[in-house]
Amino acid sequence: TEAWGPDDEGPRPHPGPVRVRVPAKINLHLGVGPLRPDGYHELNTVYHAIGLFDELTARRGDTLTLTMEGVGTGELALDESNLIIRAARALAARARVPAFARLHLRKSIPLAGGLAGGSADAAAALIACDVLWGLGMSRDELAEVGAQLGSDVPFLLHGGTALGTGHGEAVSPILARPTAWHWVVAIADGGLSTPAVYRELDSLRDGSWPPAPLSGPDQLMAALRQRDPEVLGAALGNDLQAAALSLRPQLADVLKAGHEAGAIAGIVSGSGPTCVFLAADAGHAQQVAAGLNAAGVCREAVTARGPQPGARVI
Ligand code: C5P
């Protein structure tokens, strides 16, 4: 009888290293509905991936380890609580393989910044380990694993510009002619706790009747189609902004400084404290970033383009 030959179909384990790059996200529209029984808020959001990246390298190993360099080194726990370790373990459990890898993170996305850095790193770990271990899982399967780890993980596997519903984990792409948008990202000193910002929003809303409606993304979607930065700027909106400003009143100075530096519009990114500003083109973005840096209202202002692809091997 004929022996079973090697299976030429399907992926194989990768010898490593596997390098994955993952973008940060902003929310062009973030409508927050009521608190659900499971502790999350119902969301209606438009996600947008921008050119500020973390990089995760996966090598073969006989245990699971994580090291890092860059932003947050010495501050970010590298133990079992880290979202990268949790992502690797969740994927290994799902695929019934041992969670063996040596992972190294090069971090640029600030911690607790409202840019989904933690979810981005979890997305990068899912892609890196899937390739290293030769699992060949689909993005949808990885997104299912990722949704358990952080609301923004499915989007960061996907990238681009997309609608988010549920608690953010249900992602559908927005079909539009690609337009490059120019952003300035004002990175703050120190972070804000996402749960604390949501709690602050609940207490700001407490007692108001009728309850705040969950605002839809229609106006923002229409603005995206017009491809005019002035129109997009007018449509940007974030229900968490008032809560972030309430916890960190100095953010008003950042928004004002961006306006004075000539930005078309500015908003708090997600739960903050990062603020993002829309510019007309690359040169204008440089000018706005220089103005913000001169004003001394943030740790650093950098330019970034969107949309960007999601987590992928480079
Ligand atoms: O999913 P993720 O880990 O990013 O969420 C962090 C926290 O932010 C949640 O535990 C919850 O307190 C809050 N959150 C929320 N509603 C959402 C997403 C996050 O209240 N839709």
**Cβ contacts of 175 within 8 Å, gap of 6 or more:** none
Q: What span, in angstroms and rounded, lies between the C-alpha atoms of 158 and 269? A: 19
Estimate to the nearest angstrom the gap between the alpha carbon of 54 and the chain centroid.
Answer: 11
Would you say residue 4 has pLDDT above 60? no
Query: Do both 120 and 152 map to the same domain?
Result: yes
Do residues 213 and 267 share a domain?
yes
Instruction: Determine phi and psi for 104, rounding to 5 degrees.
Output: -130, 130
Alpha-carbon distance of 96 to 91, in angstroms, equals 8
Residue 128: strand pairing partners: none
- Both 38 and 169 in one domain: the answer is yes
Q: Does 6 reside within a domain?
A: no
Q: Which atom of ligand 1 is nearest to the CA of 194?
A: 8
The secondary element (H helix, E strand) that includes residue 303 is strand 300-306
Is 138 inside a domain boundary? Answer: yes
Residues 200 and 134 in one domain: no
Residues 165 and 277 both lie in one domain: no
CA-based nearest residue to 45, from 154, 139, 140: 154
Mean pLDDT is lowest, of 120-134, 136-150, 207-221, 235-249, for 207-221
Q: Give the chain's mean pLDDT.
A: 95
Strand partners, 312: 21
Q: Is 107 a catalytic residue?
A: no
Residue 191's domain comprises 181-306
ipTM: 0.97
Residue from 54, 130, 152, 239 carrying the catalytic annotation = 152
Instruction: Tell me: do 22 and 90 sit in the same domain.
Output: yes
Whole-number Å distance, alpha carbon 41 to ligand 1 midpoint, is 7
- The per-residue pLDDT for 99 is 98
For residue 279, being part of any structural domain is answered with yes
* 308 DSSP 8-state letter: -
Within a domain: residue 313? no
Catalytic residue, from 25, 54, 121, 239: name it.
25
Say whether 232 sits in a helix, a strand or coil.
helix
Report how many helices (DSSP H) and strands (DSSP E) the chain contains, helices first.
10, 12
Please indicate whether residue 152 is annotated as part of the active site.
Answer: yes
Ligand 1 binding pocket mutation candidate from 36, 84, 151, 163 (most atoms within 8 A of CB)? 151
What confidence score (pLDDT) does residue 7 get? 57
Q: Is the pLDDT of residue 233 over 90?
A: yes
For residues 158 and 191, membership in a common domain is answered with no
Q: Give tens-digit pLDDT for 266-284.
A: 999 999 999 999 999 999 9
Residues 133 and 214 in one domain: no
Ligand 1 pocket (Cβ < 6 Å) reads 39-41, 43, 150-152, 167-168, 194-195, 198
Q: In the numeric block, which tokens belong to residue 63?
A: 């245990």
Shared domain for 162 and 222, answered yes or no, is: no
pTM value? 0.95
Three-state SS for 173? strand
CATH, residue 263: 3.30.70.890
Please report the pLDDT score of residue 211 as a whole number.
75
One domain for residues 121 and 33: yes
Q: Are residue 121 and residue 142 in the same domain, yes or no?
A: yes
Q: If pLDDT is split at 50, 70 and 90, which confidence band does 210 have?
A: confident
Q: How far is the CA of 39 from the centre of ligand 1 (A)?
A: 8
Binding residues for ATP: 110-120
Asked whether the predicted pLDDT for residue 3 surpasses 70, the reply is: no
Q: How far is the CA of 40 from the centre of ligand 1 (A)?
A: 5
Same domain, 22 and 145: yes
198 CB burial (10 A radius; 0-12, 13-18, 19+)? middle
Provide the H-helix boundaries in 4-116.
83-95
- The owner of tokens 């927050």 is 32
Residue 254 in any domain: the answer is: yes
Task: Give the SS3 label for residue 144.
Answer: helix
Q: What is the helix (H) or strand (E) element at residue 153, kind and residue range?
A: helix 153-158
Domain boundary among 118, 143, 174: 174
Helices (DSSP H) in 166-239: which residue ranges? 194-205, 218-226, 229-235
